[in-house]
Every structure is written in C-alpha cells, then in structure tokens.
Amino acid sequence: MRLFTWITLILLSLGGWVAWEEIGVREWMQQWQPKTAKPLDPAFLRLNAWEIASLPLALRFDHPMGSEHAALTYNAQPFRITRHLGDDLNGIGGGNSDLGDTVYAAGAGHVVYAGIPGPGWGKMIILAHRVPDLEDLAKERIYQTVYAHLDEITVKPDTQVQRGMKIGTVGTGGGLYLAHLHFEVREGPYINPGQGYADSPLNRVSPEKFISQRRGAPAEQMNPAPALP
C-alpha cells in the first residue's frame, strides 16, 4: 500500500512538472509570436511618396452639396467666423430639411479616411487630391477635402472617387446638431481629423475661395450628372 502511495505521489509530481514545463515553454514561445497590431491613430498618418503619386489629378472642383455652384444651399457658418475651420453648408429649407441630402465629392480624389474619428464629428470622410498649383501649373500641391457630421457614408476607404460622385448624405453628427455639412479644405499630406475650431487657421484654407478659383466653369453652368457604373 505504501509503495502504491509513493508511486502515485511520484507520478503526480512528474505530471505537475511536465505541465509546468509545457506552460513555461508555451509562454516562452508566445513572446516570439507577432503581437496583434493596434489600430493606427489617424493623427499620425502621412501620405507617402507612392501614395501621393497615385492620387488622381483634380483639375476642377465643385461644391459638395446642392448644385455644383451651391444653388439651394447657404453657408450658415463661414470659414474663420468664431474660429471655425470650415464652412457649415445647409439646405435653404433650414432646420433638418436637408437631412439625408446627397453629399458629393468636390473633386477627383482618394478616400484616405471614412469613419467616426471622435466625439463631435459624427461620420467623416477625408479625400486627398493632387492639384495643380495656380501660380505654376508645372507644380502640384496636395489638398484634402473633409466632409463631416454625415448621416451615411457611401464610399469605402482606399478607393478613388470622381468629381460629382455621391460619397455620403447630410447628417446631424449623431444627433448633436441640426442637419448640415461641415466642409473643410486642408493643404498637405498629413491625415488628421483634428478639430473644427482653432485660434489660427492651421493648414485650412477657405473652402469657398478654393472652389471658386478651381471651378473652371461659369457659375451658371450646371455639370452633367456622373455616369452610372
């Protein structure tokens, strides 16, 4: 009986040692396994040279809401009024009458962000554009157009869009505001949702001035609707 007890204890000890060894080896192996990558913070993204070269060349820009020359809309809070970094575009009916209205790509570009970046923004789309320099057409600049407070996003990240293509619909920023489109134009390759207000304009430019300089068509000319896929 005593012999059986000793044999049992020895076997249990060996089993525990083997189990401990297995756990130890497993932990040692796990430290060499690739860790799951954390989602990249958009604030730290920058377009590289290849991505910039791959951007479509945007020769013309139109207004992103209403008609191409902004008919049926008004600018409720223009650029730099009360530190505002964009334009707040509304339908002429006011209130939530424009909720769900179509938002168009202002110019040919690449979808570098489409999602919900943080409180106060609701759904947002950022398009990157390669744009000829107005003073020297042989040179190019990188601009971004930003569309925020959306109700719906109808494009996917890392896809290209054409001027006048539907990319989303007007929203309320998740119920925070009356329906409108917060529209910004930014210069440079750094992709950062950022903030909507600041003491200085940062890398933002006046959306209204930017588009008026690059419409390439008389104000009364209506562009044809984009071809269906």
Residue 157 CB coordination number (10 Å)? 13
Tell me the mean pLDDT in the region 34-59: 71
pLDDT on residue 45: 81
Torsion, Cα of 52, 54, 55, 59 (10° steps): 110
Give the model's confidence band at 61: pLDDT under 50 very low, under 70 low, under 90 confident, else very high. Answer: very high
Q: Answer yes or no: is pLDDT of 33 > 80.
A: no
Tell me if 126 sits within 8 A of 193, measured CB to CB.
yes
Rounded distance, CA 149 to CA 13, Å? 64
Residues 6+ apart with CB under 8 A from 34: none
Residue 85 and residue 79 in contact, taking contact as beta carbons nearer than 8 Å: yes
Q: What is the mean pLDDT of the chain?
A: 81
C-alpha span between 15 and 17 (Å, rounded): 5
pLDDT of residue 142: 97
For the segment 99-128, the average pLDDT, to the nearest whole number, is 95
pLDDT surpassing 50 at residue 146: yes
- Pairing of β 166-170 and β 87-91: unpaired
Task: Round to whole Å and give the CA distance between 192 and 29.
Answer: 38
Instruction: Determine contact, residues 153/171, Cβ cutoff 8 Å.
Output: no
pLDDT of residue 37: 34
Write down the pLDDT at residue 21. Answer: 39
Q: Give the pLDDT band (50/70/90) at residue 16.
A: very low
Q: What is the mean pLDDT of residues 118-141?
A: 92
Mean per-residue pLDDT, 104-132: 95
**pLDDT at position 43:** 52
